[in-house]
Structure 1
Amino acid sequence: MDRREFLSYTFWGACGLISLPSIIYGRNTYRTKFSYAVNLPYEDAVRLWVPVPENTSYQKLLHMEVKTNASYYELTADRVYNAPILYAEFKGGNENKSLEVIFDVEYTDRSVDMSKLPKNNGNIPDEVAFYLKPTDHVPTDGIVKEYADRITSGKKSQLEKVKAIYDWVVENTFRDPQVQGCGTGDVKSMLETGYFGGKCTDINSLFVALCRASGIPAREVFGIRVRASSLSKGISSVTKDATKAQHCRAEFYLGQWVPADPADVRKLILEERLSIDHPKVRQVREFLFGNWDAHWVAFNSARDFSLEPPLTSGEKVNEFMYPLAEVKGKLIDKYKLTFELSKYTILA
């Protein structure tokens, strides 16, 4: 099959004609300019950390412009994942603390020809083997290992195992709209309680943990939706306001990093009220194992890590998909900061 071919299908269903999305296998290039703006109504001193789009094989930050009355700001990165961070400090005594940053990003669709992947990893580079390690929220032993062994039982190759894990996650989880933000991605808690409902960080962290427990490097990729999805407006309908458009995707490694997104399969099912056997779900489910459509910008894959500079408390943060801020050395709620005091806006 031509990997740049547009695929479009039409089916007759119980309610009549069913039109399925045109799926693009290839690497079309897109460019989006978007802004993050925040007003901090605090008299006390404030420290602010803002996630910045990373440079990858499929994405490039072309330009970044900062407008602020902060006393100090810098572009930095954490010491483990090299996640890019815009850090700012505001002195006390002034309630009018503001920052706006404009990002200009170029990015592509991602498409991997699964038929050309090795069935097993050979020598894994050290920087990739790092993503076999457990973190606080993504353990790989105990109940996680038990589930991974059960799901992959009888599968001989790593490619067979990762596909079995992907299918199990799609079939056994569900999107819970009551979960705040994108969820916490606490994999051990999900498995111990048997409650497999959540949002993208929960569902895709479960996929990542099960892959790692099976000896397959995997990682979450945290970012934000900046366009409508070509697969479904239920997945993303972003055109202007992206304040609540954060999204966590996933990758696994088989000779190269391969995109996957079981969480968006579950979002499609919820938002369009479709059954898991619906032709559109089957098509999108197949596509999101090895492909991403380009409607989203990546920030980082950092998990259970220390910011740079660190929080006053020295504590680690779970993930860095939302801006974070301290007032007088105390971390404020990230959802209040993002959803009430901040705004992400698509500019072009």
Structure 2
Amino acid sequence: MRRILFVYVLMITAITLNAQQSYEITNSLTLKNQNCELTKMTIILPVPQSNNYQEITNFKYSSGEVLDVENSNNQYLRDLKTSGLPSKGDSYSLTENFNITLYPMYIDMKQFKKIYPYNTQSEIYKRYTTNKGEYIDTSNPRIKEISDNLWNESKGNIIDYARLCYEHVGANYKYLNPNTGIHKIAAILSAGGGDCGNLASIFVNLLRAKQIPARHIVTVRPNGTFHVWADFYLEKYGWIPVDANMKLDHPEGDYFGYCRGDGIVMSEDVYHPIEPGPGQTFNTAILQNFLYWYWCNAGTKVMATHHIESKPIQLPTDPVVSDIGSSKATLEWKEIKGATDYRIKLYEKNGKVLIQTKNVKATKTHISLKNMKLMTEYTIQLIPIRRVENIETQMDIYNVHFKTV
């Protein structure tokens, strides 16, 4: 059996995706008592959920209780301590452990042949078209002006309008004030931009201004860095990712219907009511890493240290070509977690001429290709497909180059 593998980048497609990755995650917050006589302490950590972008398993925590955020899909871990408090110089940690698989996503917008009107009575519509304090405020005069202009330009087409909003953010705002949290929309517009979360805020405000469901997707990467992008909803299809910040970083790229698959989604939306204790409410602009409170009789200082540790537990492997003959070859691959189908494309001469396209079920891990030319260079493209709600998404693209004998 002859096996050949050359994997390299082709100009067949302009998108770049990370392969899906699985990790063991430890998420912890440590409070060190510097000089206090503590009487009570509360720690909050977001609890990630399985959703379009990730699968969570084996979630465990060291202490506390998991609570729901009102009127949302979010949860958080609350550890309320009145005994066993750290003495001066001592520390206390709250820890979450879980396994996660992160799924990259590229959506070909051409698949949406018909756009349906929204069900205005649905929970999604009611939840994701409303204002949220001053963070999502569709009465803002500048938001109203921009949204009206772009809506007229789109002629009322939802997808065209969403794309115009995405392009507007990329063309008219700057990346500013990183890691300062979600700001009020008036402040973002006045500053002329913000970090990834605040650029997502502009997009979400513009979408909700025209009663299109939209939301923030709030993540922490396995390396401990932060990122936020936006989603908007298409009736009868599902949620579409949009990353306006990536458009600023890479103006030549297209991040409309695109998710890199490198962020642990900690929460969705903004401005959440959190309970530090029974009967208490605190509205946090963003639920991303941690919150904490402490009460003491003396002293003033407790130091917080947040830490995420990730250990890869599954790495995808590249496909290989075997049984190469004068007119045939076999493509083999390992099962790719999350894939519901595979699409195989055969190109002649380094991706310049498309010869064949085949769709196979996810249960298959090989396919035979025939009717090829003698002594000719080919490229096989393996595309794992994952259906999310009623949307076809591409998880990755593998390019394998070979030559018939």
Normalising by structure 2, report the TM-score: 0.64
Q: Which structure shows the bigger proportion of residues in helix conformation? A: 1
Query: Residue 208 of structure 1 aligns to a residue in which SS?
Result: helix
Which ranges of structure 1 fall in alignment gaps of 5 or more residues?
1-5, 11-19, 227-237, 270-280, 330-335
Residue of structure 2 aligned with 1:305, choices 272, 277, 300: 272
| Counterpart for residue 163 of structure 1 | 163
Letter in 2 for 1:158: I
Alignment partners' CA distance in 1, 2:175 and 2:153: 29
Shift of 1:209: 0.4
Instruction: State which of 97, 107, 114 in structure 1 corresponds to 2:109.
Output: 114
Is the 1:300–1:320 contact (alpha carbons within 8 Å) kept by the matching residues of 2? yes
Identity %: 19
Partner of 2:153: 154
1:341 is aligned, of 305, 318, 330, to 305
Written as runs of structure 1 = structure 2, the 5 A alignment for 1:157-236 is 157-176=157-176, 179-191=177-189, 193=190, 195-226=191-222
- Note the alpha carbon deviations across 1:13-63, whole angstroms, 9 max, x for none: xxxxxxx986249xx542112212222123422101101211113322111
The answer on whether the counterparts of 1:121 and 1:158 sit within 8 Å (CA) in structure 2 is no
Distance 1:120 1:21, change over 3 A: closer
* Structure 1 partner of 2:257: 290
Aligned to 1:135: 132
Task: State the alpha-carbon separation in 2 of the partners of residues 120 and 196 from structure 1.
Answer: 33
* Pairing 1:317–2:281 present: no
CA contact (8 A) 1:134 1:140 kept: yes
| Equivalent-residue separation in structure 2 for 1:22 and 1:121 (angstroms) | 28
Query: Any conservation in 2 of the 1:261–1:289 contact (CA below 8 Å)?
Result: yes
Deviations along 1:293-335, one digit per CA (max 9) or x if unpaired, are: 1111111114222114658752311110120011129xxxxxx
State the match for 2:244 in structure 1.
262
The size of the alignment, in residue pairs, is 285
Q: Deviations over 1:103-122 (max 9, x none)?
A: 21122112222012256442
After superposing the two structures, state which structure 1 stretch, 304-313 or 159-168, moved more: 304-313
Shift of 1:65: 2.8
Of the three residues 86, 98, 120, the one matched with 1:94 is 86
- Please report how far the alpha carbon of residue 123 of structure 1 lies from its aligned counterpart in structure 2 after TM superposition: 3.4
2:32 pairs with 1:62: no
**1:162 deviation in Å?**
0.8
Give the counterpart letter for 1:40 in structure 2: L
- Show structure 1 runs of 4+ deviating over 4 A: 308-313
Change (3 A) 1:30 1:204: same
Aligned letter for 2:168? Answer: W
Task: Please tell me whether the aligned partners of residues 118 and 254 of structure 1 are also in contact (alpha carbons under 8 angstroms).
Answer: no
Contact 2:80/2:277 (CA < 8 Å) preserved in 1?
A: no
The amino acid across from 1:253 in the alignment is Y
Question: Hey, what's the Cα distance between the residues in 2 that align with 1:99 and 1:207?
Answer: 35
Q: Residue 40 of structure 1 contacts residue 341 of structure 1 at CA under 8 Å; is this kept in 2?
A: yes
CA contact (8 A) 1:218 1:252 kept: yes
- Select the structure that is richer in strand: 2
CA distance in 2, matches of 1:8, 1:55: 33
Measure, in 2, the Cα distance between the counterparts of 1:347 and 1:311: 36
Shift of 1:265: 2.5
In 1, Cα distance between the equivalents of 2:109 and 2:262?
22
Residue aligned with 1:151, SS: helix
Q: Which position in structure 2 is the counterpart of 1:35?
A: 26
Closer/same/farther in 2, CA of residues 77 and 313 from structure 1, 3 Å limit: closer
